[in-house]
Amino acid sequence: MHGSTFEFVSPGGQTNIFYSIDQRRKIADLSGPSVVAPDRTISIGDYAGKVVLLNLWGAWCGPCRTETHVLREISTAGKREGLEVLGIDVRDNRQYAADFIRDFQVDYESIFDPSGRIALQLRGLPLAAVPISLIVDKRQRVAAVYIGAVLQEDVRPKLEQVRAEP
């Protein structure tokens, strides 16, 4: 990580990276249109004060389909626990993405990013490796990065740890 905002660097090719509080950097101000409601703008800033599991996905992505039930479970439980899930749909067709959200009963918001420009603000992330998930703390700093599909046992302990922070 360099500078004052988050920039991903994979030490030794790791796919699960955790940052201590003093290592964390603020996430870029990601915002864009909703996948299902194009007239509505969604921003990571809307979630300030909450722990967010930010997930980069695409309807074209097999592993994204696999992890959707995990993200939905985290989202459903999280609403009671002060956790949120936010998606960024990258390099996709809006209709396919909206169908994916309906078919998989996704209950959290997703920003539509067909060009990948919004996701590129997360400098250094290997966007070819979608899905990618980030845990963003209450102060909008990146606490963890997971490259590849996640399981409950992968992210739940870290989400709980970050949620318990002041």
DSSP per residue, 119-148: GGGSTT--GGG--EEEEE-TTSBEEEEEES
Q: Cα(82)–Cα(71) distance, rounded to whole angstroms?
A: 15
Low-confidence ranges of the chain (pLDDT < 50): 1-2
* pLDDT of res. 3: 60
* pLDDT of res. 12: 76
125: number of Cβ within 10 Å: 20
1 in Cβ contact with 20 (< 8 Å): no
* pLDDT of res. 1: 44
